[in-house]
Amino acid sequence: MLDYLAEIQVQIAMGANPLTGLPGNVVIEQEISRRSDNKIRSSLIYIDLDNFKVYNDVYGFEKGDQVILFTARTLRQAVQSESETDSFIGHVGGDDFIIISPRDKARKISARITGIFEKDVKIFYGEPDRDRGYIIGRGRDGIRREFPLISVSIGIVDCEFREAFTMDELSSRVAEIKKYAKSIPGNAFVRDRRKPLGS
């Protein structure tokens, strides 16, 4: 147990998420700054799980952790197949992740992630829920109802890095695109069609 706690402390000190081992927010911001300083045109791909909270409530945190690990593996697999050497994967926290990739790879990476989720996330459900295509749980309002199986919503924001922009501007744009992606039922990705940030 002490070895496990020591490993968690090392991961936190390194800025990594203790569950997934992926870099956390400090390292994510450093990577964005590095790309900005070097004027590396990139896409920021924000990944968020839909219906994860109710899944955790119904199936428990241990199964929820398995879904988070599956998500991390899925992101690694998608990046390795499309853009291994010039992409970055980070774990913002909870069920939120980020990939920073070359702009021409963002769509393929996102499509691969949604495809894997569509096919494989069902293994984390019991047979009755899998067959029905939903679980019954309590929403944030406390009312019991049907919730679809976990899906993934992805928002893509392109960055030029020719001109400076703030992390607040980036966060605001990402939040808007993520919200739009989450409004689409099932696994979905949406790319911001506005002018890239920093252009």
Largest CA distance in the chain: 53
| Boundaries of domain holding 146 | 21-191
Other Cβ atoms within 10 Å of 144 Cβ, number? 9
Q: Cα dist. 166→8, 33, 85, 160 in Å?
A: 31, 10, 26, 13
Residue 10 lies in a domain: no
Q: Is residue 1 part of a domain?
A: no
Residue 109 lies in a domain: yes
The reply to whether 12 falls in a domain is no
- If pLDDT is split at 50, 70 and 90, which confidence band does 7 have? low
Quick: pLDDT tens for 39-89.
Answer: 889 999 999 999 999 999 999 999 999 999 999 999 999 999 987 778 999
pLDDT greater at residue 199 or residue 115: 115
Task: Using the predicted structure, report yes or no on whether residue 171 has a pLDDT greater than 70.
Answer: yes
- Token representation of residue 20: 């997934």
Q: Is residue 11 part of a domain?
A: no
Task: Look at residue 199 in the predicted model and tell me its pLDDT.
Answer: 72
* Residue 199 domain flag: no
Helix locations, the chain, DSSP H: 2-13, 25-37, 52-59, 61-83, 106-120, 127-132, 167-182
> Quick one: tokens of 175?
């939040």
- Report d(CA 38, CA 71) in Å as an integer: 30
Q: Which residues pair with 136 in a beta bridge?
A: 146
Are the C-beta atoms of 23 and 91 separated by less than 8 Å?
A: yes
Question: Smallest Cα–Cα separation from 176: which of 150, 197, 149?
Answer: 197
pLDDT for residue 14: 58
Confidence of residue 108 (pLDDT cuts 50, 70, 90): very high
Q: What CATH number is associated with residue 92?
A: 3.30.70.270
Mean pLDDT of 165-188: 90
| C-alpha distance from residue 132 to each of 47, 126, 146 (Å) | 26, 10, 10
User: Between 105 and 4, where is the model more confident?
Assistant: 105
Percent of the chain as helix, strand, coil, to the nearest 5: 50, 25, 25
Q: How much is the average pLDDT of 144-165?
A: 90
Count of domains observed in the chain:
1
Give the H or E element holding residue 99. strand 96-101
Percent of the chain with pLDDT over 70: 92
**Per-residue pLDDT band at 10 (split at 50, 70, 90):** low
**39 is a domain residue:** yes
Which residue do the tokens 């829920």 mark? Answer: 129
Task: Report the chain's mean pLDDT, rounded to a whole number.
Answer: 90
pLDDT of 190 strictly over 90: yes
- In this prediction, residue 16 carries a pLDDT of 87
Q: How far apart are CA 162 and CA 180, in angstroms?
A: 27
Q: What is the pLDDT of residue 125?
A: 98
**Residue 170 pLDDT class (50, 70, 90 cuts):** confident
User: Does residue 161 form part of some domain?
Assistant: yes
